[in-house]
Amino acid sequence: MQQNKSFTILILLALGVSVGINLYHWNRNSTFQYKIEIAETLLDLDFTLSERDSMVDGLKEARKKYKAIHKYELPNSVAPTLVFSPVPVGYNTPQQQYENVYNLPTEVIVPQNREELCFYSIGELAMLIKQQKITSTELTQLYINRLKKYDPELHCVVTLLEDRALEQAAKADQEIARGQYRGPLHGIPYGVKDLLALKGEPFTWGSAIYKDQIADITSPVIEKLDKAGAVLVVKLSLGEFAMGDVWYGGKTRNPWNTELGSSGSSAGSAAATSAGLVAFAIGSETWGSIVSPSTACGVTGLRPTFGRVSRTGAMALSWSMDKIGPICRTAQDCAIVFDAIRGPDGIDASLENVTFNYNANKPVTALRVGYLKHLFDEDYESKTTDSLALNAIRKLGVNPVPLTLPSNIPVDALSIILEAEASAAFSSITLSNQDDKMVEQHMWAWPNIFRTARFIPAAEYIQANRIRQHLINELTKLFADVDVIIAPSFGGNQLLMTNLTGHPAILVPNGFTQENLPTSFTFIANWYNEADLILLAEAYQQETEFNKKHPERFLTTN
C-alpha cells in the first residue's frame, strides 16, 4: 500500500514538472506572441492568435540570423548587389559623341582689383589662364588667402589642401607655358564636399565619429578633374552624414546673411562658391542636397541623371538615390565640369556610358518646354520671382505648355526607401550606440531616423520600390512631348519625386526676397538630357544675369 502511494506521488510530481515546463514554455511563447502583436501595431498588420503562435519559432530563428548579420563587419563603401536603374526598357539614348560647343569668351579683361577674379566664371578664368594673362598659381593663392580669411565666419573648410594645390597650379602653369593646354578646367581652383575621398587626407563625412578617418583611395571624380588640369584647393563641409548644414565644426553660414545657415547637405560647396572662395565645387544630392544650398547661396547647381557620375570613393547614404554633381556660378560652368566628371569608372555598377552633346549654338526655340502650372499657381514665398522668371523664359521665344505631376502615387511614403538604405549604410553607428556622438539629436535627425528605419519591413521596402516603378512610368508619359520642364524648386513633392526617378535637374538663381536672400527655380529634363537642360538655363542666365550677383561683403576693394 505504501509502495503504491509513493509511486502515485512520483507520478504526480512528474506530471507537475511536465505541466510546469509546458506552462513555462506557454508563458514564454505567450510573451513572444504579445511582442508580435505590439510589432503589428507599428507595421499596420493584423494577425490572429493562431497565426502569431505559428510565427514564434520562425521569428526566433530569424532573430539568430539578424544577430549574425549584426556581427558581420560591413564598411560604408560596400554596396548591395542590387543595382537601381531608373531608365525604362527601350529608352532611347544618343549613341554618337560630338565635340561640345561652349562659346567661351574670347576676350576677358583682367580686373584692376584682383579680388574680382574670384567671382569670374570658369569660362572667363579659363581664357585668362589660356592666354597667360594670369597664372594658375596667382589665382590659386588668391583663393587660398580668401579661404583662410573668410572660413572663421563661414565655417565651410574641413581640410585646406594648400601644398597640394600650389604644386598642381605650378604644374599647370608649366604645361600651359609649353603649349600643353588641357582645356577650360586647366589651372582652375575648386573644392569638393568632404564625402569624396582623397587618398592620405581626412575623410570626415561631417561627423566627429570619422574626424580622424584617412582616405585610402582617391575618388574617380577627383581623378578625372586632376586629368582635366583642375586644382583641388579644399575639402568643404557637409551636414553630418549628408543632412543639413550642421557638422562637428559648427553651422556652415550663408554668405548673403551669416546669421543664417547655408542649408544642406552640400553646405560648404554652395557657401564657398557663393562667397568666391573657389571657382566651383563638387556637391552631392540624395533629396535636395544640391538644390537647397544652391538656392540659399544664390549659385547654380546641377543634379545629373542617376548613374552618370561615379560614386566610388564617396560616402554612401542611399545606393539608389545618391548623385554627384557640380555647384557653379553659371549653367555653362556646370556643363564644363559635368563633361569632365561623367562616365564609368570600372567600379560603380550603376554607371552608364552615355554621351553628352552640348551645343551652345542650338536655338532654345527648338526646345519643347513645359511648366508645372499647378505648382506655380499655388501661394508660396517665391511666387513673384518665379512668375517673373517664367516671363523671362517666354521672352526667349519659348512658350511653355502647362503640365501636371501625377497625383495618384503616394510619393511621400516612398521616402522609406532613403530611410531604409541610410539606416543600412550606417548600421554600425546605430548598433554600437555611436549615434549618441552626433551633433543633431532631435526627433527628425539622423540618429532617430536610423533607429526607426530598423523597423521598416523588407516587404514594404520592396513594395515602395515597386510603386517607384509606377512613378517612373508616369514621368515617362509626362516627358513624352517635352524636352525640359520648369518647376518651383520646392513646389509640391517634385523634389522627392524626381530624385526617386533619377531625372536630371539644374537649379538657377532667379531673384531675391524682400530680405535680399536669393531665390531659384528648377529645370528638369528626361534621363541623360543634361544638354538641353543646361542650354535653356544658360539662355535664361544670359537674359537675366542673376547668376552674376554675389554677396558684396565678400569682395574686398582696394
What grid cell was written down for 311? Answer: 560614386
Please name which of 163, 110, 107, 111 lies closest in space to residue 137, comparing C-alpha atoms.
163
**pLDDT tens string 51-84:** 999 999 999 999 999 999 999 999 999 999 999 9
Residue 19: partners with Cβ closer than 8 Å, 6 or more residues away: none
For 228-268, write each residue's pLDDT tens digit: 999 999 999 999 999 999 999 999 999 999 999 999 999 99
Q: Which three cell numbers stand for residue 455?
A: 523597423
Residue 18: pLDDT above 60? no
Distance CA 289, CA 298 (A): 14
| C-alpha cell of residue 427 | 548600421
**CB of 524 within 8 A of CB of 409?**
no
Residue with cell 600643353: 180
Is pLDDT above 70 for 355? yes
Within 8 A by CB and 6+ apart from 248, the residues are: 204, 206, 207, 208, 211, 240, 439
| Distance of alpha carbon 117 from alpha carbon 544, whole angstroms | 21
Q: Where are the beta strands (DSSP E) in 513-553?
A: 518-525
pTM value? 0.93
All residues at 6 or more sequence positions from 202 whose CB lies less than 8 Å from its CB, including other chains:
158, 159, 194, 211, 212, 213, 214, 215, 235
Neighbours of 182 (CB within 10 A): 15
C-alpha cell at 95: 549613341
Instruction: Retrieve residue 273's grid coordinates.
Output: 562658391
Pairing status of strand 231-236 against strand 484-488:
unpaired
pLDDT exceeds 70 at position 8: no
- Which residues have C-beta within 8 Å of that of residue 102, sequence separation ≥ 6? 123, 184, 332, 335, 336, 358, 360
- 294: cis peptide before it, omega within 30°? no
Q: What stretches of 342-444 show up as alpha helix (H) in DSSP?
A: 373-376, 383-395, 416-425, 427-431
d(CA 553, CA 146): 13
Q: What is the DSSP letter of 304?
A: P
- For residue 371, what pLDDT is reported? 98
CB atoms within 10 A of CB 173: 20
Give the single-character DSSP code of 247. Answer: E
Band the pLDDT of 556: cuts 50, 70, 90.
confident
d(CA 43, CA 455): 8
Amino acid found at 142: L
Q: What is the mean pLDDT of the chain?
A: 94
Average pLDDT of span 200-213: 98
Mean pLDDT of 360-388: 97
242, 502 in Cβ contact below 8 A? no
Confidence label for 93 from pLDDT (cuts 50, 70 and 90): confident
State the amino acid at position 213 in one-letter form. Answer: Q
User: What average pLDDT does this structure show over 178-191?
Assistant: 98
Confidence category of residue 28, pLDDT binned at 50, 70, 90: low
Q: What is the pLDDT of residue 303?
A: 98
Closest to 424 in 3D by CA, of 401, 384, 451 = 451
DSSP 158-215: EEE-HHHHHHHHHHHHHHHHTT----TTTT-EEEEETTB--TTSB--TT-GGGTT-B-
Work out the pLDDT band at 13, boundaries 50, 70, 90: very low
**Cell numbers of 508, please?**
538657377
Give the 3-state secondary structure of 213-238. Answer: CECCCCCHHHHHHHHCCCEEEEEECC
Q: What is the pLDDT of residue 30?
A: 78
| pLDDT beyond 60 at 1 | no
pLDDT > 70? residue 16: no
User: Per this entry, what is the length of the chain?
Assistant: 558
Q: Is 558 helix (H, G, I), strand (E, B) or coil?
A: coil
Q: 557 pLDDT band (50/70/90 cuts)?
A: low
Q: What would the pLDDT profile of 102-148 be if each residue is shown by its tens digit?
A: 999 999 999 999 999 999 999 999 999 999 999 999 999 999 999 99
Check residue 146 and give its pLDDT. Answer: 98
* Residue given cell 560596400 in the structure block: 78
Reported confidence tier of residue 95, pLDDT bands at 50, 70, 90:
confident
pLDDT higher than threshold 50 for residue 22: no
Helix (H) or strand (E) segment spanning residue 134: none
Average pLDDT over residues 388-397: 98
Strand order in the sheet with 231-236: 157-160, 231-236, 189-193, 280-285, 323-328, 300-303, 505-512, 518-525, 484-488, 369-372, 401-403
Mean pLDDT throughout 366-393?
97
Q: What average pLDDT score do residues 527-533 get?
A: 98
The CATH architecture one would assign to domain 114-353+363-409+442-550 is Alpha-Beta Complex (3.90)
Q: Are the C-beta atoms of 136 and 169 separated by less than 8 Å?
A: yes
Helix (H, G, I), strand (E, B) or coil at 21: helix
In one letter, which amino acid is 178?
R
Residue 19 has pLDDT above 80, yes or no: no
Q: What is the pLDDT of residue 24?
A: 43
Domain ranges in the chain are 2-71, 114-353+363-409+442-550
In the predicted structure, residue 405 carries a pLDDT above the cut 50: yes
% residues pLDDT > 90 (the chain): 92
